[in-house]
Amino acid sequence: MKSLELKDRIEAQAYDSYGQSFYELHEKEQFVTVGNAVMEYLVPKWIESKKKFSQQKQAYYFSAEFLMGRALSNNLTNLEIEKNVKETLEEMGVNYNILEEAEDDAGLGNGGLGRLAACFLDSGATLDYPMSGYGILYQYGIFKQNFVNGFQVEEADPWLDYENPWLVKNSNDTVIVEFSEADKVEAVPYDMPIVGYGGNTINTLRLWSANAIEKFDFQAFDEGKYIDSVKAQNEAETISRILYPNDSTDEGKQLRLKQQYFFTSASLQDLMRKYKEAGHKSFDDFSKLHSIQLNDTHPALAIPELIRLLEQEGVEFEKAFDITQKTMAFTNHTLLAEALEVWNKDLFLSVLPNLYPYIEEINGRLVSELKEWKVDESKWDKFLIIQNNSIHMAFMSIYASRAVNGVAAIHTDLLKTDVIREWHGIFPNRIVNKTNGITQRRWLLQSNPQLSAMITDLLGSREWITDLSLLKDLEEKYTDDAVLGRFIDIKKEKKQELADYIQFHEEIDIDPESIFDIQIKRLHEYKRQLMMAFYIADLYNRIKADPDGQWTKRTFIFGAKAAPGYYMAKAIIKFINELADRVNADPEVNGIIKVVFVENYGVSYAEKLFPAADVSEQISTAGKEASGTGNMKFMLNGAVTVGTMDGANVEIVEEAGRENNYIFGMEVEEVEAKRGNYDPEIPLQETEGLAAVVESLTDGTYHDNGTGMFQDIYDSLTGGDEYFVLEDFADYRETQDRISHDYRDSKAFYKKGYVNMANAGKFSSDRTLAEYAEEIWHISKFQ
Ligand SMILES: *Cc1c(COP(=O)(O)O)cnc(C)c1O
């Protein structure tokens, strides 16, 4: 794109959209204008892309969440017009960084699961695979987090209040979703372009927005009932109003069920309509042209819905089931029993009375197979979709899918040997592993241009941007200390950038010479943010006892949102904020350690945090974290992991070497052995420093403003310590102390980080996506 042409486009767009000169607009409007100009450039390529794939089998990623973050820089990078656009804007007197920050994050997800969906879309388009995403256009994404007196306070995220340049409304493809005869809405699709790196393929993320069929009741209005006149529209819009902010536990709300049905039904109708329009006379070829991936059970209603829609087209049940099973594949994301979705049958019937009979039909088919397989009736509770007045979404998804996958090797093994071992016994080939990944375009190229430039220099090519396995060659490029010196300088620079950002946003001064030790992820007891907080509280006590001792400077950084209804998670946030206040305000200590809890952690904040980390905290109770992807982002940016043998940590140390990371704590088997014969009093009394820290929860050292929250944390630890915070603390403390010791030899320490970066190739979502494409979806790249 020529610079002059771009300038003209931007200026013209400003007049078109706002009737004003571009230079008169405020930042958000300038962002929208530039976005519109980029769209004008990419739309013809997008149309080309749609055409080229129209004849081949496609993959459809169904997900209730797509945690996309910002799109401007990503689109510019992937279209390879970043330099040009930035230069042009500079000539026009516009600060690109301000413009970039003016874009609201598309926060249509909670955490890892939603971000994975976003990374997959990026990889799919980059690898030239025909792949579309289907989801919901939430009017409000994940809430904004504020801290008030150290407590989390949620605020709505009206990310669509400004015009969004990336969304194209496609009213022609509107469909009707019928919950029941009396309850129907319109589903209106908005399409977002997914630009692959290099710009050869632009795929589509289609997000549905709910609308009333009768938007305005004129009669009611005429009778003076103004509220009634828009009631239907309000009720309909509620369906796509808000993303459920709970991570992994089942919200169990009627509205949530409606959302799930809303987007899966709309998406399937969309696919069937296009299929018929392409001239197919029967549905015999449907599964040969469509692979649908169910991202967890949130879209699992696609199973009975596809059967229902096929039966409506005259396909009999057995055939419809067969087509459905060949079309669907299912990803399991959790080992937490409480997170497996189960719907109360009566609630389900009240919302989706017409869909329920199809679930019964599927369950009936399963029952006859259970008899055929001679499964003892006493074991049917491990299989039945409908039992005890409830509907088991995971069982339905396993039964009616072609493939079921876990998201890291250890997770998949646990699925096979524990969580769903009975299913594994019946279908020994159905459960497969697809270890998660992250896109290096966003998590390195864009967020860490300095390290990217170094990698390109060392490797002598930019090929790693689309083939991350090439990073392995960085090991042999490590010929002298100059290489490490540059790596360390870049880390320092990123730490300084983060320090400036934190100074501005959190008003806390942190020292880039200190170790940056970072834990950023959703707040959950199993992730054990509390254990890291206890280490800090203990370290504080130790420094106070010996202020002139040989301490290594360290900055502890947290970022995490707690589900609004998750009491213990909110209590832990309050505790960490109190701890931070105490540490940061103590002049005897605050030159050695600092604690920062960044407000409103999300994708854009993450892009600043990962590149600046020295230490990556991945300290979940073994057997609880399915994979993690934050761990991979840290690794790729050259941090070392302090972590348990859980999720993808296992594969991270397999790739980069245990000696280059800090592994500690009980492993899965030990956790299992401990459960049931665990007395938290023992580690509490036997671990140096621990009792003082735990007691400080309730002895007046830390204040919870009279809420009783800290007492509740105390009680949960002493009354069972479900996540073994106390049991693992001794080993964690010793390991953390070792990090402080090792950091004194900074070359040796950063060499470990360098080796981690060089061995991060496996964790590209390009690798993951290619595995899905070849082994589950059977789709091919555009030839
Ligand atoms: C990567 C990412 C996550 C997932 O983090 P985990 O440590 O794997 O739980 C969550 N939120 C955001 C914003 C992310 O970028």
Domain ranges within the chain, ordered by starting residue: 57-69+110-132+165-435, 440-677+724-763
> Which residue has a Cα nearest atom 11 of ligand 1?
111
The CATH code belonging to domain 57-69+110-132+165-435 is 3.40.50.2000
Please give the model's pTM, rounded to 2 decimal places: 0.97
In angstroms, what is the span from residue 522 Cα to ligand 1's centroid?
7
> Which residue has a Cα nearest atom 4 of ligand 1?
112
- Cβ–ligand 1 distance for 603 under 6 Å, the answer yes
Distance (Å, whole) CA 261 – CA 266:
8
- Cβ–ligand 1 distance for 635 under 6 Å, the answer no
Domains 57-69+110-132+165-435 and 440-677+724-763 share a fold: yes
Pinpoint the alpha helices (H) of 478-602.
481-506, 529-545, 567-584
In angstroms, what is the span from residue 110 Cα to ligand 1's centroid?
9
Taking the chain (783 residues) in consecutive chunks of 10 residues, what is each chunk's mean pLDDT? 80 92 95 96 95 92 98 96 94 94 97 98 98 98 98 97 95 97 96 96 98 83 81 88 84 90 98 96 97 98 98 98 98 88 95 98 98 97 97 98 98 96 97 98 98 98 98 90 96 98 98 98 98 98 97 98 97 98 98 98 98 98 98 98 98 98 98 96 98 97 97 98 98 98 97 98 98 98 78
- Cβ–ligand 1 distance for 114 under 6 Å, the answer no
Which overall architecture, per CATH, does domain 440-677+724-763 show?
Answer: 3-Layer(aba) Sandwich (3.40)
Map residue 433 onto helix, strand or coil: strand
> Which residue has a Cα nearest atom 8 of ligand 1?
628
- Cβ–ligand 1 distance for 112 under 6 Å, the answer yes
In angstroms, what is the span from residue 712 Cα to ligand 1's centroid?
27
Joined tokens for residue 216: 């305005």
- Nearest ligand 1 atom to alpha carbon 602: 13
Distance (Å, whole) CA 109 – CA 107:
6
Give the Å distances, CA to CA, from 345 to 330, 342, 356, 365, 705: 22, 9, 9, 18, 42
- Nearest ligand 1 atom to alpha carbon 603: 13
Q: What is the pLDDT, as a whole number, of residue 4?
A: 62
HEC string of 94-116 equals: CCHHHHHHCCCCEEECCCHHHHH
Catalytic residues: 333, 521-522, 527, 629, 633
Q: What is the pLDDT, as a whole number, of residue 783?
A: 65
In angstroms, what is the span from residue 716 Cα to ligand 1's centroid?
26
- Cβ–ligand 1 distance for 559 under 6 Å, the answer no
- Cβ–ligand 1 distance for 111 under 6 Å, the answer yes
In angstroms, what is the span from residue 297 Cα to ligand 1's centroid?
20
Strands 202-211, 183-195: pairing kind: antiparallel
Q: What is the pLDDT, as a whole number, of residue 214?
A: 84
